[in-house]
Amino acid sequence: MKLLEDKIRSCGRALNDDVLLVDMFLNHQVDCELMKAIGDEFYRIFKDEGITKIATVEASGIAPSAMAALAFKVPMVILKKQASVLMDGKMLQTEVYSFTKKKSYQLTLKKEFITENDRVLLIDDFMANGEAAMGAAKLIEMTGATIAGIGIVISKNFQPGMEKIKAAGYNVASLAQVAEMGEGYIKFVGE
Ligand code: G4P
């Protein structure tokens, strides 16, 4: 997605060959017009998949997911990183390990919000090692629902996540695929 790649170039910054800073527009300050365009792009890609719910992992997946949910006219479900005492009802959980943050968390879903008849589009802001996406997909599938697609805003294709998700058979689309980066430069797939 050209608009997104241009934004990454103009407002993002590769801190090193591993970490891309995008807090100007995606995960701290948020460019809502860009999020709207991203939501519309996910709609264009997945509109024929019979999507009934958008799911995402808190926190930075919420903005693009909300815009996609508006485009699809379906609810958005936020997978929580921990159970709250306020969450009554039956909960499903799976453990996810973050290589970036070097800690595990219990990804949590209240069962009533996704059911076996749902066809879910899972959206996340970053694909790095693929642990969050794999964990989220597994959690959603515990309900009997189908993962009809996985939409990623930025994938770092030099890390294992994208390959892992494709090898698992998921229909995945990433709007900005970083082939490689280093201090001061970013190269997208196809460049
Ligand atoms: P994985 O899910 O693909 O395995 O990735 P990993 O555990 O390694 O990283 C998870 C967290 O780190 C996610 O944030 C993800 O957005 C973030 N992350 C990974 N690579 C980058 C990067 O290059 N730049 C930035 N800015 N973030 C990155 P999170 O813990 O879910 O945080 P949040 O959604 O609450 O903001």
pLDDT tens, residue by residue, 85-109: 777 778 999 999 998 889 999 999 9
CA distance 89 to 60: 26
Atom of ligand 1 nearest to the CA of 156: 23
Helix (H, G, I), strand (E, B) or coil at 166: helix
Atom of ligand 1 nearest to the CA of 132: 2
The token pair at 97 is: 């390990």
Instruction: Return the C-alpha torsion angle 167, 169, 171, 175, nearest 10.
Output: -10
Q: What is the pLDDT confidence band of residue 82, given thresholds at 50, 70 and 90?
A: confident
Give the 3-state secondary structure of 98-120. ECCCCEEEEEEEEHHHCCCCCEE
Alpha carbon of 154 to ligand 1 centroid (Å): 10
Residue nearest ligand 1's atom 24 by CA: 20
Please determine, for residue 70, whether its predicted confidence score (pLDDT) is greater than 80: yes
CA distance 20 to 13: 6
Helix (H, G, I), strand (E, B) or coil at 175: strand
Q: What is the pLDDT confidence band of residue 113, given thresholds at 50, 70 and 90?
A: very high
Residue nearest ligand 1's atom 35 by CA: 59
CA distance 23 to 93: 29
Backbone phi, psi, residue 123, to 5°: -120, 135
Ligand 1 mutation target, pool 126, 157, 162, 170, most atoms within 8 A of CB = 126
CA distance 73 to 144: 22
Alpha carbon of 139 to ligand 1 centroid (Å): 18
What DSSP assignment string belongs to 40-92?
HHHHHHHTTS---EEEEETTTTHHHHHHHHHHHTS-EEEEBSS--TT--S-EE
Residue nearest ligand 1's atom 21 by CA: 19
* Alpha-carbon distances of 42 from 17, 54, 109, 162, rounded to whole Å: 28, 11, 23, 17
